[in-house]
Amino acid sequence: MSFDPDTAAAFTGANTFVGNIAGIDFSGTGATFSLEAWVNGPANQPASDTDTGPVIIGRGRGGNGAGGVNGWQFLLDVESGVYTLVVEPTTGTAARASAIAGPNGTWQHVVGTYSQANGLVIYVNGAASGSAAAPTGGPLSSSTFVTIGAGQGGVSPSFNVYFKGTIDEPAIYDKELTSAQVKAHYCGQFGAGQKPLVLISPSPVTQWIGWPITLSGVVAGSCDLTYQWYKGSTPLSDGATITGSQSNILSISSLALSDAGNYYVSNYNSTGSSNSAAAAVTVLATPTVPIPVSGLVMHHKFDASLIDSTGRGNDGTGKHTFGPTGSTTTTVNPGPANGGLFEYVTGGQIPNGQSFAFKGLHYSSQANADPQQGGAMTYGTNSYYVNLGTRPDLKFSSNVNFSVSYWVRLPNGFDQGDLPFFCDATNSTGGKGFTFATSYGSNGVFAAGTEANSGAWAWSVNGVRIEGPWYSLNDAYWHNLVHTYDRTGNGVTYLDGVIVDIRPVASAGDMTQAAPACIGQDPTGSYSETGSADIGDLGVWRKTLSEVEARGIFVAGTNGLSFVDITPSIKPGPGAGQVTVTWQAGTLQQSSTPSGFVDTAQTSPYTFTPTTQMFFRVKQ
């Protein structure tokens, strides 16, 4: 199947797609196929749904909800910003081949190939960009039609995962294209006389030591095109940590301090050559002090207290709600007197086997606890949690960017309901406000056995919500989660320093409501889900953390270090003519000019009566 090569279809990212394409079936172990399209879309794509991103070509449906036949027989989509080929078996886990590139505002040739022998391979612009083994049993059977430009994220018949951009020459083959055939298809657009033309130069990168980076250039030109990457004036070659030195995508698998420098790619063919602009690579050393992250408005270290260490007063109060339908609430302090249900904890490990360096808080809630009264959905409650109050710092309106970071440890095999880690939304995920919680597992109270993402993370900002992949948290290790929100752009989730989800949040709207924020429960204190967790080093910022900052929190944590905001704050008072300088950590420096700072011996808060102009900063 192919479309007119001289025209392309534009997809708006909502309510436009090509559907009801019948007669294509690749189920079973003997199936081979290839999916192909020219694609031009922005990097900022519409929302995903659970395990399905904006669909380019697909047959099947995603795993959100239950009550029907889920699963993708084949799917070419965009997940976490990159092109992905998905094949799902009748039983077991879907196979995913993720490229190292995604939509970037230029025309890209994207191909996914499949066979039981060779598995899944995804190509971008004629070159293999990712692969995965074929699932046992081959692709599942599906009663759905093939669609282009949109798909179903779950069992509902409505389409909700839309591609935004233009798609040209989509094609489906009942055979596995060879790498030579894929390259020939890609090269066909240029003919024989196009000299290299740089469309996009590599972008500067700042990254932590030991982490990977990718530099890429987009070049048009006839297909005897060759590439050579340079660091400064030195040509690079593959080996050790470097791959792709003679391709348009250069990868360094583990940065060393010596990798810092300027990189560019040179491009050649029989009709000429061109060079990209140079991109600076900056390598950040392993932190030796808590990393500075400005904009911090709440920081709970759970260091034997529920005090906000920022000094902004966003302190918490321990609560115990119990009795029929949560009829009684008392104030309690975490500690042994609570029978192991609400106490400070230490120890444990992170997934790489290192010891967890921070202290944490253990909390628990029990639905169906005696005494009970009322009907089938009216339960007794026994919940321990922290009430943070209704704090202006934790209200994000309709336009306030914000970020949240925390370490969390779930019991091994946990698969219960969405008891919140941290939220101000009544009834947890999906309520008005924000929620960070476990995914709704198969043993949840309200919908036991109906959900698809046991043992994972979840979040919601008003009606925008997501559950992470199966069993990504419930291994009894401490994991770091960072969620960042650009209210006109995307919400990004990092799990142990790695981006695992990107989705638009502009539609979330106004999150303001009067309920308090809580740790371990919803604002009522009696949300009827049973569960327990340990939470540590909880931070909130009224800004969108950068990728370097978000990843740096995990990097610092693996070295036993936290984060801190060293930006000094200056306010008038408390007395007439006085000013007070406060800061969270470090050494206060002062000067009468914007340069020439010297250390002071002052501690925060520092109150004085100024007699002349003064400038302050903090040295860590």
Same domain, 459 and 504: yes
* Residue 500 belongs to a domain: yes
Question: Tell me, what CATH number does 203's domain have?
Answer: 2.60.40.10
Using CA atoms, how far apart are residues 358 and 348, in angstroms rounded to an integer?
10
φ, ψ dihedrals at 554, nearest 5°:
-70, -45
Same domain, 448 and 547: yes
CA distances from 209 to 124, 250, 255, 486, 548 (A): 28, 17, 5, 27, 11
* Residue 339 belongs to a domain: no
Same domain, 552 and 574: no
Specify the amino acid at residue 551.
R
How many domains, the chain?
4
- Kindly give, in sequence order, each residue whose CB lies less than 8 Å from that of residue 353, ignoring residues fewer than 6 positions away: none
pLDDT score at 160? 86
The two structure tokens encoding residue 38: 């020219």
Looking only at the bridges linking them, the beta strands covering 279-284 and 205-208 are parallel
CA distances from 263 to 73, 185, 205 (A): 41, 30, 10
Using CA atoms, how far apart are residues 606 and 71, in angstroms rounded to an integer?
61
* Residue 374 belongs to a domain: no
Q: Residue 155 burial by CB count (10 A; 0-12/13-18/19+): exposed, middle or buried?
A: middle
pLDDT score at 243? 94
Same domain, 173 and 280: no
Placement of tokens 């509902």 in the chain: 156
Beta bridge partners of 362: 343, 534
Same domain, 99 and 77: yes
Same domain, 467 and 588: no
**Which of 140, 167, 187 delimits the end of a domain?**
187
pLDDT score at 3? 39
* Residue 328 belongs to a domain: no
HSE (side-chain half, CA atoms, 13 Å) at 556: 22
* Residue 379 belongs to a domain: no
Q: 548 by DSSP, 3-state: which?
A: helix
Same domain, 597 and 499: no
pLDDT score at 173? 97
Using CA atoms, how far apart are residues 472 and 454, in angstroms rounded to an integer?
9
**Which of 540, 563, 586 delimits the end of a domain?**
563
Same domain, 557 and 596: no
Q: Could you tell me the sign of the dihedral formed by the alpha carbons of 444, 448, 451, 456, in that order?
A: positive
The two structure tokens encoding residue 172: 């489906």
* Residue 117 belongs to a domain: yes
Same domain, 579 and 554: no
* Per-block mean pLDDT, blocks of 10 residues, the chain (620 long): 64 91 93 96 84 92 65 93 94 90 92 97 93 94 93 79 95 96 88 85 96 92 89 96 94 97 94 94 96 95 95 94 79 94 95 93 82 54 91 96 98 89 93 93 60 81 85 94 95 94 88 94 88 96 97 96 89 90 87 90 90 88
* Residue 126 belongs to a domain: yes
* Residue 50 belongs to a domain: yes
pLDDT score at 375? 52
- Angle in degrees, CA 322, 326, 330, rounded to 5: 50
Give CA 366 to chain center in angstroms. Answer: 30
Range of the domain at 214: 197-284
Same domain, 459 and 311: yes
CB atoms within 10 A of CB 156: 14
Same domain, 203 and 123: no
Question: Tell me, what CATH number does 74's domain have?
Answer: 2.60.120.200
Same domain, 110 and 216: no
Using CA atoms, how far apart are residues 267 and 198, in angstroms rounded to an integer?
8
Q: What is the pTM of this model?
A: 0.83
pLDDT score at 344? 97
**Which of 138, 159, 187 delimits the end of a domain?**
187
